[in-house]
A = this chain, B = another copy of it.
């Protein structure tokens, strides 16, 4: 019985999604945690030595990261993490979020599966201060997923990575207000009130923008 279980587990594990994917996840995590700060050179050789793999998967991972805007490459000059967002980029990012996420919240309120609705509430119950970023990311991911549109979900996932990095740069820990705003959105979704969910999400993003904008002078 246990053997059967292990075999099934082995089968799933026997399908490692490839070293490139593994490296991709690892480097992306290092960038998001600021272990590799913005605007920092990233050497293929160093990474290969550090992770104990050859250069090929490193290159593939960095190419994917480049396509996602987390690093940039210069010919014969190597890779470097993207510089921290400036004011203009922050404005553009939140303009984009205001286009997408309120609509996603409306659709989620109207069509979200019950299982996801439960996950939405449960995740919110443990807002440990240091894991606020992960909680926030998961919250917005669930709503985007609840909208039932993969393009919306993928776009927002990409954007939230940059929000995450930006927030990490400033050790922003203003969780109090954000949690209340989240609660309002959750309540509207549970009530299946699309209009209210959309408005609550719009307000949340606008206020979130106001909180982050204060960190930038230029």
Chain A positions near chain B (C-beta within 8 angstroms):
15-18, 20, 56, 59-61, 63-64, 66-68, 73, 75, 89, 92-93, 95-96, 99-100, 103, 149-152, 155, 159
Tell me whether A18 and B73 are in contact in the complex, defined as CB-CB below 8 angstroms, given that A59-B59, A59-B60, A100-B99 are known contacts.
Answer: yes
Flag if A92 contacts B150 (CB, 8 Å). Answer: yes
Chain B residues lying within 8 Å of A59, measured Cβ to Cβ, are: 56, 59-60, 63
5 more CB-based (< 8 A) A-B contacts, given A16-B75, A59-B60, A99-B99:
A59-B63, A60-B63, A61-B63, A92-B152, A155-B155
**Shortest CB distance A107–B (Å):** 9
Chain B residues lying within 8 Å of A95, measured Cβ to Cβ, are: 149, 151-152
Main SS class of interface, A: helix
Chain B residues lying within 8 Å of A152, measured Cβ to Cβ, are: 92, 95-96, 99
Chain B residues lying within 8 Å of A60, measured Cβ to Cβ, are: 59-60, 63
Chain B residues lying within 8 Å of A96, measured Cβ to Cβ, are: 149, 151-152, 155
Q: CA separation between A71 and B15, bound complex, in Å?
A: 20
Closest to A103 in B: B99
Chain B residues lying within 8 Å of A17, measured Cβ to Cβ, are: 75
Tell me whether A93 and B151 are in contact in the complex, defined as CB-CB below 8 angstroms, given that A67-B63, A68-B67 are known contacts.
Answer: yes
